[in-house]
Chains A and B, each alone.
Chain A
Amino acid sequence: MRPAIRTRRLVTVLLAVLAAYFLMPLYWLVVAATKSTGDLINSSPLWFANPQLFTNLGELFSFGGGIFWRWVLNSVVYAGVGALGATLISACAGYALAKCAFRGREALFNVILAGVLLPMTALGLPLFLLMSKLGLANTYWAVLLPSLVSPFGVYLSRVYAATVPDDVLDAARSDGAGEWRIFAKIVLRIMSPALVTIFLFQFVAIWNNYFLPLVMLSDNQLYPITLGLTSWQGFADRQPILQTLTVVGALVSVIPLIVLSGALQRFWRAGLTEGSVRE
């Protein structure tokens, strides 16, 4: 049942218009990142004027004693360490929930799932107060520790861990392997597609998170990129160069995420098909 060529052409044109809408802000970002502060305001918004991308990049990385590097590094630490930890912790929990029948298991699982529904913003303030009491506010831990919790990760892990055959586990046990060894050598391997999905999902979520660091951090040496850039934007009316730096910084920070979300798209689609939207 091939669609008529005319329909196909019409639909393609419509989707191309939509694609232009979705891509236009990114195109604008690339163009704007090459402009001087004056041109940013005075030249045509959607076309190049006296491109000076490398001057801007040099300025970005040297401004304020190279603090942008620091923010990049912080974002990588928060998102990388946080996502890795969250993946392993979720995998352990999901495996236990899938393979051990204990009383209250379903109730516990439902409580964890309800965590997905909770507004993060409602948690933010009391979390900040608790962290202050523990003396952890305004430290790496304040952003890292809450990032290790991923209810969605536990959910996906449980779905995948359920597909690990019991025979294999029993065989390993009768060979005398301990539970952790079985988990590390067999279970993690079988669950690896889910683990990649959880890792990517959590990485993007932490990288994009703004509220948590905004609430927790006051020392700009600890800022991730998102917080750093908005702090620059806040000073831009006094120091116009910061306007340009915000734009160039946004471009630099978006590039790795675009690459990652491409990967995420593939894995995540597979992950969801395997079960997470199954009723």
Chain B
Amino acid sequence: MSKRAAAAFLAPFLILFAAFFVAPIGYALVQSLTRVERSGLLGLRGSTTEFAGLANYGAALSDGDYLGSIGRILLFALIIVPLMVVLSTVLALVLEAGLSRWPRFFRTSFFLPYGIPGVIASIMWGFLYAPGTSPFTPVFTALGAEADLLGPGTVFWSIMNVVLWQFVGYNMLIVVAQLQSIPQVLYEAARMDGATRWTIARTVQLPLIRPALVLVTVFTIIGSLQLFNEPLVMQPLSTGISSTYTPTLTAYKEAFNSNNLNLAAAESIILALVICVLSFGFLRLVQRGRR
């Protein structure tokens, strides 16, 4: 193919990518480094945009609520990432090993929640958690445990449950796909050597599905740090979810309720940096462990 033809094929994507991926990042950076100065009483004499240096970043990082939301989301990721990886891997291994009946039915049921929009899943679980409509609270009350699934102490776990419910099957399928690409000869060779099912999982399957596990981990890190839909939808139901519950929620509030776009941009960029550091850091760690 000539270079001119290649350029023509690439152009539509590159133009859109530049306009809707690259430009917004640049714009956010500019926004985060400026501030709007209003002059006159109530800013009636108009406003000017000035260079602010790192003032917005300073403001974000000295805001206890914002830092609190970052801490909360890091804790969330710290718990959900291992849970997600282990659950989806175990399910994939069990289903692919033919250890149960109806593997196809199970695979489909586990994957089904992925097709449900995050906000709709949150609405559904909201009803399932809310005291008036929940089928669970009577069970908890009967057991003598705390029954308020949306209370300040429990809502963190209730949100985690929604995220796990939605994405375990999706991640399981990534692992299943990689398991299915393992050549049958390897299994036969292992069996000839007298390997048990457990040994095969440990020495043949786990090393070979490593790329899928890396992918699942990175997806879960990125996804959980951006947590937004679930807390937003459940906010009216729970006293435990503040408007600064997660970093994305904080930035959203700052931009659309407080109309402070510059601070919101700085908060978005700090979160993006945290995500990049963690996901690239994880990738580096894995690659180094490989050598």
Contact = CB atoms under 8 A, between A and B. Distances in A.
Interface in A262-279: 262, 264-265, 268-269, 272-273, 277-279
A11 interface: yes
Contacts of B268: 119, 121-122, 125-126
A160 interface: no
A16 to B, nearest CB: 8
A96 interface: yes
B117 interface: yes
B20 A146 contact: yes
Majority SS of interface residues in chain B? helix
B217 interface: no
Interface string A216-246: 0000000001100110011000000000001
Interface string B81-110: 000000000010011011111100111111
A8 B100 contact: yes
Interface in A103-121: 112, 115, 117-121
Contact of A8 (B20, B101, B275, B280): B101
Interface residues of A, number: 87
A89 to B, nearest CB: 5
A187 to B, nearest CB: 10
A56 to B, nearest CB: 15
B111 A93 contact: no
B174 A100 contact: no
Nearest to A237: B236
Contacts of B17: 112, 115, 149, 151
B127 to A, nearest CB: 7
A234 B116 contact: no
Interface stretch (B39-47, B55-63, B146-154, B225-233): B225-233
Given A208-B118, A211-B228, A254-B115, A183 B9 contact: yes
A92 B212 CA distance: 27
A92 B9 contact: yes
B179 to A, nearest CB: 9
Contacts of B6: 96, 99-100, 102
B275 A119 contact: yes
Contacts of A186: none
B54 interface: no
A179 B99 CA distance: 51
Majority SS of interface residues in chain A? helix
A261 B117 CA distance: 12
A92 to B, nearest CB: 4
Interface string A199-215: 00000100110110001
Contact of A265 (B94, B173, B228, B236): B173
B134 A277 contact: no
Given A115-B17, A122-B272, 17 more contacts: A3-B98, A7-B99, A18-B106, A19-B106, A29-B124, A92-B9, A121-B251, A126-B265, A129-B27, A179-B2, A183-B9, A210-B118, A225-B117, A226-B120, A261-B114, A269-B173, A273-B181
20 contacts: A1-B197, A22-B110, A28-B127, A41-B132, A93-B9, A99-B6, A112-B17, A117-B280, A119-B248, A119-B271, A122-B28, A122-B268, A122-B269, A123-B21, A129-B27, A149-B17, A179-B8, A226-B119, A230-B123, A258-B112
3 pairs of A and B residues whose beta carbons are closest in the complex: A261-B115, A100-B6, A96-B9
Interface of B: 1-3, 5-10, 12-14, 16-17, 19-21, 23-25, 27-28, 31, 91, 94-95, 97-102, 105-121, 123-125, 127-128, 132-135, 165, 169, 173-174, 176-178, 180-181, 191, 197, 211-212, 215, 218, 222, 225-226, 228-229, 233, 236, 248, 251-252, 255-256, 261, 264-265, 268-269, 271-272, 275-276, 279-280
